[in-house]
Amino acid sequence: MVTVDVLKYSVECVKAVEEQYGKKGGVASKFRSRAREFAESFYYNDMTFMLTYIAAKSGENYLVGELIRNDVSDIVKEIKRIKTSDDEKSYGIYGAFLSKYIQLINVFEKSPNNLGDFLLAVQEKSLILTPYILEFAKWLKRLSEAKFEAE
């Protein structure tokens, strides 16, 4: 397992969103809403359920595959190029950041390459991952509230 500076990673995530979408309206404001919503939801719902929910709102490719191998800035740039709704992009960005964070913690023996394998691996390691995810969600929420305008 690798120690990841959660505050530093969260700052990088919020900065990447701001660089591509600004601070007001559209994807930036919707991302703020996702960060607020999920910070609470992760306390009350199973992590694999929440990841499945995010995948249902955005798509499998935001959580597994080539996209999350990029740094956070490139993740947001790639998602910006996708022709889809601002809602889907906000879910996708949040999901990609979360998935990348889970991968950075490095609790898996090998990186899952499809959604089913990813969810099963997360579920298997949920006792280890949950405190990290809660901390990440909390930082992302606070930083997004400070940076982005509400919807």
Tens of pLDDT, residues 18-69: 999 999 989 999 999 999 999 989 888 888 999 999 999 998 888 888 887 8
Total Cβ atoms within 10 A of residue 61: 18
Q: What is the pLDDT of residue 3?
A: 56
**pLDDT higher than threshold 50 for residue 1:** no
Identify which has the larger pLDDT, 110 or 73.
Answer: 73
Q: Name the pLDDT band for 90 (thresholds 50, 70, 90).
A: very high
pTM of the model: 0.93
Question: In terms of Cα–Cα distance, which of 87, 79, 91 is closest to 50?
Answer: 91
Residues 120 and 109: their CA atoms lie apart, in Å, by 13
- DSSP sequence for 76-142: HHHHHHS-S-HHHHHHHHHHHHHHHHHHHHT-SSS---SHHHHHHHHHHTHHHHHHHHHHHHHHHHH
- Rounded Cα–Cα distance for residues 91 and 56 (Å): 9
16 contacts 73 by C-beta, under 8 angstroms? yes
Return the CATH architecture of domain 6-146.
Orthogonal Bundle (1.10)
109 closest CA partner among 125, 91, 94: 125
